[in-house]
Amino acid sequence: MPPPLDGVGAAGVLMVGVIPRWIYKAAVRTLQLVLAAALFPVLRGCYLRVRHFGMTALASFGIRIEPSRRNTVPGLSPKSTVVRGRNQATRRPTLAATTGSQGADGPSQLFVLIHGLGGTPDDLRCLERNLTQRGGTDVLVHKPACNTLVRSFDGVPNGARRVADEIRAVVAEHRASLRRISLVGNSLGGIYARYAAALLFDEDSKTIAGLEPTTFLTTASPHLGVGPFGYLGMFPSPLQTVGAALIGESCSQLMLRDGWGNRRPLLAKMADPMNGKEGARGSGGGSGARDEADGLPFVDALASFERRCAYANAVNDFLVAFETASIDPDATRTMREKRSREASSPASANIIDAGGFGAAAGPTGSFPFPFTGAPRIADERDHIPTDPASRERSLFGSGSDAGDGLALQRKMAAGLQTLSWHHVDVEFPGYLPLAHNKICALQRDPVMEFLFKDGEFIVEHQAEYLLAWVREQ
């Protein structure tokens, strides 16, 4: 029997019974936005004061905060890091040095952790720590810093090329020992990873940067764009277009506003199984010069990985909605139907919470009222393509797909779903839409570590998934 609703949940049910659901949902999201906008400057001001006081106090005792570890690999951005896993005997991490010092006994598995829009490599510090502590010296973790902060706004192709260049440099430095590669992308980093994989993909050997592709994993990545879904979907289409153009090329591409004339948006090309293949409709069927993306085999590069996994926030993600992160335009409706079935049959629930990681918990009744409860993994499932032959034909029509509403997103989802995926749906209940930073346990500094530490058990889950294949080998 589901637990009784608290006061807020009961009020929510009464409100839904009186007013239409869409009005209730719009009011709830508006309230969340107002609270976030009101609290952000206050929290930031408190953070800056506490940080200044703490740094001053530590300095008075002669204690200096250790600067970020800098890499020793030529060709990388100054703040990029390349760290080898811990030696289980000494329990100390090892900064990767040169090929000569590693030799054939060096790390064999490369994990590349790519941050998102306006981010820094430290956004994925928690995952790096878990991989290096659990993976042993066989693991090498690379966090590119080539797209930090404002550099991530100049378009997906530019950022992905910088990431690909850094991966080539790391692989060249550790060529004697590296054998396998896994890519991990958070938010926009997942799109960077897909584009970079296509740049590094060798169609003859089916390798990425000359290494065997192992795992491709994304957390809260907008695979279908961000325009019509979630909070951003509340804004009128013209306002989205103007806002994307003002913010930068990356935002225009994420909102699918970069298609012009008879050409397709970049994300649509990246989801087409026939893109980059001879005789395929790479430019959207229109006239004009082809660009780099028209010739890249995005889906084939993604297919070269042994496994693909997508983590998605089912609720409270202000930037990347559940539908686009889980590669399913109907994900919210599907989740609601699943919860209805669970309410009538509690034994069928498949929920893992932070308090009992790895154990099943009963349904909480919080969806779609994401206010109370513990952070949890709401569902894990595998998508197996039913028609493998669909990868040999384009799923896009002959006309322009730009501005076609959800029809375009459905075609993009169908293209990506020609591959198998492991899906992990996560819930971070609460009154503020902070789940986007919690799913990666963002830890740039102590204050952010405190705010988003709820996601640490999700990051541990990600690390275990990434390392499982390595341990099997």
pLDDT band per the 50, 70, 90 thresholds, residue 92: low
Q: How many residues does the chain have?
A: 473
Is residue 359 a part of any domain in this protein? no
Mean of all residue pLDDT scores within the chain: 80
Q: Are residues 391 and 333 in the same domain?
A: yes
Is residue 2 a part of any domain in this protein? no
pLDDT at position 230: 74
Q: Are residues 43 and 74 in the same domain?
A: no
pLDDT at position 23: 76
Decide which of 60, 78, 93 is a domain's last residue. 60
pLDDT at position 68: 43
Q: Are strands 109-114 and 201-202 parallel, antiparallel or unpaired?
A: unpaired
Is residue 367 a part of any domain in this protein? no
User: 170, 163, 162, 159: which is closest to 210 by C-alpha?
Assistant: 170
Is residue 186 a part of any domain in this protein? yes
- Higher confidence at residue 273 or residue 289? 273
Is residue 172 a part of any domain in this protein? yes
Q: Are residues 96 and 53 in the same domain?
A: no
Is residue 418 a part of any domain in this protein? yes
- How many structural domains does the chain have? 2
Q: Are residues 189 and 269 in the same domain?
A: yes
Mean pLDDT to the nearest integer, 73-77:
85
DSSP per-residue letters across 196-240: HHHHHEETTTTEETTBEEEEEEEES--TT-SSSSTTGGGS-HHHH
Distance CA 175, CA 94 (A): 18
Mean pLDDT to the nearest integer, 63-71:
49
Is residue 222 a part of any domain in this protein? yes
Q: Are residues 47 and 72 in the same domain?
A: no
Q: Are residues 162 and 51 in the same domain?
A: no
Decide which of 43, 60, 77 is a domain's last residue. 60
Q: Are residues 342 and 447 in the same domain?
A: yes
pLDDT band per the 50, 70, 90 thresholds, residue 471: confident
pLDDT digits (tens, 9 = 90+) for 345-398: 655 445 555 543 333 333 333 344 456 788 999 999 999 998 766 666 667 664
pTM of the model: 0.79
pLDDT digits (tens, 9 = 90+) for 394-444: 676 644 544 446 888 999 999 999 999 999 999 999 888 899 999 999 988
pLDDT at position 272: 94
Residue-number span of the structural domain to which 172 is assigned: 68-352+372-473
Q: Are residues 139 and 34 in the same domain?
A: no
- Report the CATH number at residue 316: 3.40.50
pLDDT at position 469: 82
Q: Are residues 175 and 228 in the same domain?
A: yes
Q: Are residues 300 and 185 in the same domain?
A: yes
pLDDT at position 7: 47
Q: Are residues 111 and 54 in the same domain?
A: no
Q: Are residues 93 and 12 in the same domain?
A: no
